[in-house]
Structure 1
Amino acid sequence: MTNTDVQPIAALAQQALAPKQVEPGSIYLVARADGSVQTINLTGDEYRDTPTRKTGTTTVRDAESFTAYWDKHHDENSEVYADSERLTITAVLDAHTTSGARWAGHRLHLALRETTAWKQWLHMDGQLMDQEAFAEFLEDHLPELLEPSAAEMLEIAQSFQAAVKVDFQSAHRLNSGQRQFQYVETQSTKAGQKGQLTVPETFVIGLVPFDGSEGYKLTARLRHRIGQNGLRLGYKLERPDDIRKTAFDDVVKAIGEQIDTPVMNGTSA
């Protein structure tokens, strides 16, 4: 190879390696000195001042927050889905249109959270406790006790705590709908002395199932067992699953009344 052949090749190599200004939004093919070609893709959002489209999923915890975000970002083709099993409401803000597909990558997700009080009442539902544990449970949940009043239920709880050193022998239902427990004192100073303790057969509680939702009334039916371990007490909530479903349906209804799009039953693709 002569010097006259080498000079043009060297000039081309210097041109390939020389820096040049390129514009975002394009794809460039760059010839390397070794004869290979490098692809430089500058079409990504990281090379722009703003993204080309909205993406991501925003999670909110109540209906008010859902409608606030919806009002800001939805369009006439946005879709909303409610899933009662998962307790979620999802909006696909850039859903497909009747004339073509869209990315469906910008979403709003309402994931309801059960309140602490709701979870505690459901956790102890149907479980029997000793007298003191039952009394402490009632004392810890006085704000949720509606009928009888919290003051009356506190008095009942204190009666159970005071009757720890007694032998409960029987219980029967009164015409008034209350439950009366018969007991015999076991303390040395009052041994053999008989007494009775009357408590309501049912009581009504008020619970808020989800953060930010409305409150609902539930009826709790008193449960008891008298055995070798003494008196054990508990309650059984009447149809809590129905209340949970109603609460979710009410959230869906509240959102439906604030948006101009039907809320579909199911999940999005």
Structure 2
Amino acid sequence: MLKDFQGERDVAAVLAAGTSLAGTQKSPLQDGKPFVIVPEGYKAQIVDEVFNNPARASGLVKLRDANSFVAYFNRQKRPESLIYASLDPAKILGVIDDHRAYSAVGADHDGSNWRGYRVEFAVPASREWKVWTGKDRKALNQLEFAELIEDNLPDIVTPDGSTMLSVALNFEASKEGNFVSAARLQDGSTNFVWKEDVNATGNKIAMPSQITLEIPVFENGQPSPVDARIKYRVKDGALTIWYELVRPHKVLEAAFRSIWSQIEEQTATTILLGSPE
């Protein structure tokens, strides 16, 4: 009986000690966040708002262009701040409170830091890049191809705009006819022959074998040249036509490296290829 009584007193003492923590407490850990012990369930709950400022800076800032990223990173950077870059998807990430160099903190500290304060620039693709890569290697009929050319005529630099507009208009005119042949010419272009009926004289549409675009890869970026090879198939009077961009991944890499170099120079920070976990 005495042993049971002693056990009840121990339990009561533990509960009383827990209840005494109900007021706001300062964490002894490095983050220093204040907390209270909530009576129901006696669960710790963070109460940052009771202080004028958070115990440490944290959060993710998302920006839309390189200049904004540079301005923010330079405003907040510290000796330990680092910048990471990844291409797929295209992104620049600055970690303001990254781990410190071991040599900078001494043998009594391993340099660990919170890595919780970040600034991100998810480099957005331009409208033009999304349009042309979105249709890459997709088979179109002549009307769909004509609409693509007309809607994006300023993007095509070779052949010139008047030539490509003529191609588009001729394709639109052929909508009621049947394609009967396609012949490759000495200059590499192709003559598509179509007729409105069996006895009609054949009409010809000259299509270059390759076009050159000049489009920005990323929003507000400088235009880059991109070649596209024209492919086609004529079957049962129907023309199927498409284009294949030539090594678009290399154009993307070059445009991203340009942004990379700008940020590296203007922040005076060497960018690392990869991402922190």
Q: Please report the TM-score for the alignment, with normalisation by the length of structure 1.
A: 0.80
Name the SS of the counterpart of 1:107 in structure 2. Answer: strand
1:230 to 234, 238, 244: 238
Partners of 1:36 and 1:252 in 2: how far apart? 55
- Cα deviation, 1:114-136, whole Å, max 9, x if unaligned, reads 22321221121112211111101
Name the SS of the counterpart of 1:161 in structure 2. Answer: helix
Instruction: Kindly indicate whether residue 134 of structure 2 is the aligned counterpart of residue 116 of structure 1.
Output: no
Partners of 1:165 and 1:103 in 2: how far apart? 67
2:176 to 165, 173, 177: 165
Instruction: Kindly indicate whether residue 20 of structure 2 is the aligned counterpart of residue 37 of structure 1.
Output: yes
Question: 1:97/1:38 Cα in 2 relative to 1: closer, same or farther (>3 Å)?
Answer: closer
Alignment of 1:108-187 (within 5 A): 108-186=119-197
Partners of 1:146 and 1:223 in 2: how far apart? 19
One-letter code aligned to 2:233: R
Point out where structure 1 has 5 or more consecutive residues left out of the alignment: 1-30
Name the SS of the counterpart of 1:146 in structure 2. Answer: strand
Partners of 1:242 and 1:54 in 2: how far apart? 38
Question: 1:173/1:256 Cα in 2 relative to 1: closer, same or farther (>3 Å)?
Answer: same
Structure with more helix by fraction = 2
- Greater mean deviation of Cα atoms: 147-156 or 258-267: 147-156
One-letter code aligned to 2:61: T
Partners of 2:269 and 2:66 in 1: how far apart? 15
Name the SS of the counterpart of 2:267 in structure 1. Answer: coil
Partners of 1:159 and 1:86 in 2: how far apart? 39
Partners of 2:21 and 2:244 in 1: how far apart? 72
Q: Hey, what does 2:204 align to over in structure 1?
A: 196
1:59 to 34, 57, 62: 62
> Deviation above 6 Å: which 4+ runs of structure 1?
none
Tell me how far 1:110 sits from its aligned partner.
Answer: 1.3
Tell me how far 1:101 sits from its aligned partner.
Answer: 2.5
2:250 to 242, 248, 262: 242
Alignment of 1:18-29 (within 5 A): none
One-letter code aligned to 1:145: I
Bigger Rg, which one: 1
Name the SS of the counterpart of 2:23 in structure 1. Answer: strand
- Cα deviation, 1:179-227, whole Å, max 9, x if unaligned, reads 112233328xxx4212322121111112222223322111111111100
Contact 1:81–1:267 at 8 Å: present in 2 too? yes
Name the SS of the counterpart of 1:268 in structure 2. Answer: coil
One-letter code aligned to 1:175: Q
Partners of 1:89 and 1:143 in 2: how far apart? 30
Aligned-residue CA RMSD (Å): 2.2
- Cα deviation, 1:50-83, whole Å, max 9, x if unaligned, reads 2232110111122111101111110122111111
Name the SS of the counterpart of 1:110 in structure 2. Answer: strand
Q: Hey, what does 2:4 align to over in structure 1?
A: none
Q: Hey, what does 1:16 align to over in structure 2?
A: none
2:90 to 64, 67, 87: 87
Identity %: 29
How many equivalent residue pairs?
235
Instruction: Kindly indicate whether residue 112 of structure 2 is the aligned counterpart of residue 101 of structure 1.
Output: yes
Contact 1:165–1:186 at 8 Å: present in 2 too? no
Tell me how far 1:150 sits from its aligned partner.
Answer: 2.3
- Cα deviation, 1:4-54, whole Å, max 9, x if unaligned, reads xxxxxxxxxxxxxxxxxxxxxxxxxxx98x995243125433122222321
